[in-house]
Structure 1
Amino acid sequence: MSRHALVVGASSGIGAAVAQTLLRSGWRVTVAARRLDALAELAERLGPACVPAAVDVTDAESVDRLARSIRNGPELNALVNCAGHDLGGRTPFHRSEIDDALSVLHTNAAGLLRLTHAMLPALAEADPADVVNVGSVNGVRAAAGLAAYSASKFAVHGFTAALREECSEIGVRVTEVLPGMTRTDFAATRWRGDQAKAAAYYDSYPALLDPADVANAVRFALEQPPGVCLSEITILPFPTRDSRP
């Protein structure tokens, strides 16, 4: 029987790439996010082993509904947390909107904790069982203009490290994947849909990761032998010969 993964934040970007990569490796994948229409399109494209489910990680009732649905379905072997944003980011904190900053923390940190807490009982009954949190290099290296985002990812980094120690007692491996700059819809969301500004921002970098690069790291962690836990995987973009000036 194929293993079952829940990928949260799967409507686009890294989450969608993780879902696609795991499906190609024979997994059954439940894709979850707020945008059910985008998930339905993704599931139609990826086939019957991909099942969409709506969730807002900042809403307790929404998370509880998803947890009940998961408990009533196939055994859950992996939770992959990809949900996150940086609304209003790349702005000095004293010039930012506090509601934007708090929204970043509520989704990226508190939402991840809420969702993980709800899914751990199901994972504790599975064998094998994994949690993979997609953090960021900004969770270990803060950057100006990213005060709220860095705070949220530092929280994810510390939470993941502690959870890894705790979950060894219940047979659940815990991995953090820490990507560098990755080209997704992330920047457009940061600037409230300004695609031109997002494209110019990404084009200013000499090298970028693709979401598939991060997804391959997630798959690699999940497919390790039972006695191996990859604690952290840091992935940085590297200029190819063709892209160098």
Structure 2
Amino acid sequence: MEPLNGRTALVTGASAGIGEACALMLSQAGARVVLTGRRRDRLEAVAAKLRTPSHVVELDVRSRSEVEAALSALPAPFSEVDILVNNAGLGLGLEPAHTASLDDWDTMIDTNCKGLVYVTRTLLPGMVQRNRGHVVNLGSVAAIYPYPGGNVYGATKAFVRQFSQNLKADLVGTRVRVTDVEPGMVQTDFSLVRFRGDAARANKVYEGMEPLTATDIADIVLFCVTRPAHVNLNVVEVMPADQGFGPFNVKRR
């Protein structure tokens, strides 16, 4: 396990769920942490729990100008980011493609794809110049296994998988690593956001089974970034024991 003392980690979507858990675990391992998200009050609450120095950046990853301005102006000693955890993302709605909201599709594409690209492209040159760094992208098993209503959400996560692998191809010869972590069912605010605050519907998603937790995923992220410098975990796919691969969707007549 490589120590993280003296390293700087930046976590997007750090105000709750997997992002918060990653920030806490990386801090426990010794890293300074930059917390980014849209809810400053929540970010500051997370920062108060950290064991190491932290810096809060209120930021909407969908805005290229915000991303470039904020991340290019990080103060010392947070300016040299060693670990980027691209966690900001969401799913919206579960309607079939022919009735789904185009606004929801735009939001998912802007956040899950373009936001991730903006943050990565802003921080990656510094990693390459310093010849060290690790980009961890939070994908999903939806990138591989389709399900009814997953349409654009699954497509955005397929983008994350392919972008991650192409980044790795571009970075061969450097000590900058890239990992795509693809969770299955994790009980966070994900379903609450997807169903627009309908707690009963969100809770039903996890009814009668034991889902993964945000801490489970943060533990995997920590494992990936603390491997020896010559070791790169390309893709980590993880599901709860209670989740599996569904049958083909067949309409019987």
Give the gaps of 5 or more residues in structure 1.
240-245
Give the deviation of 1:46 after TM superposition.
2.2
Q: Which amino acid aligns with 2:239?
A: L
Matches within 5 A, 1:1-245: 1-47=5-51, 49-70=53-74, 73-74=77-78, 75-88=80-93, 90-204=94-208, 206-239=209-242
Cα deviation, 1:177-223, whole Å, max 9, x if unaligned, reads: 0101000001111111122221122215x231001111011111100
Give the deviation of 1:127 after TM superposition.
4.8
Cα deviation, 1:143-183, whole Å, max 9, x if unaligned, reads: 21110100100111111010011012343111110101000
Q: Distance in 2 between matches of 1:49 and 1:73?
A: 9
| Conservation of the 8 A alpha-carbon contact between 1:77 and 1:126 | no
Give the deviation of 1:126 after TM superposition.
3.2
Q: Distance in 2 between matches of 1:188 and 1:111?
A: 21
Aligned to 1:242: none
Identity %: 35
| Conservation of the 8 A alpha-carbon contact between 1:134 and 1:178 | yes
Q: Distance in 1 between matches of 2:49 and 2:91?
A: 28
Q: Distance in 1 between matches of 2:83 and 2:239?
A: 24
| Conservation of the 8 A alpha-carbon contact between 1:71 and 1:122 | no
Secondary structure in 1 aligned to 2:48? helix
Secondary structure in 2 aligned to 1:45? coil
Moved over 6 A (4+): none
The TM-score with structure 2 as length reference comes to: 0.89
Q: Distance in 1 between matches of 2:141 and 2:95?
A: 18
CA RMSD of aligned residues (A): 1.7
| Conservation of the 8 A alpha-carbon contact between 1:33 and 1:54 | yes
Q: Distance in 2 between matches of 1:60 and 1:72?
A: 22
Task: Report the count of equivalent residues.
Answer: 238
The TM-score with structure 1 as length reference comes to: 0.92
| Conservation of the 8 A alpha-carbon contact between 1:79 and 1:131 | yes
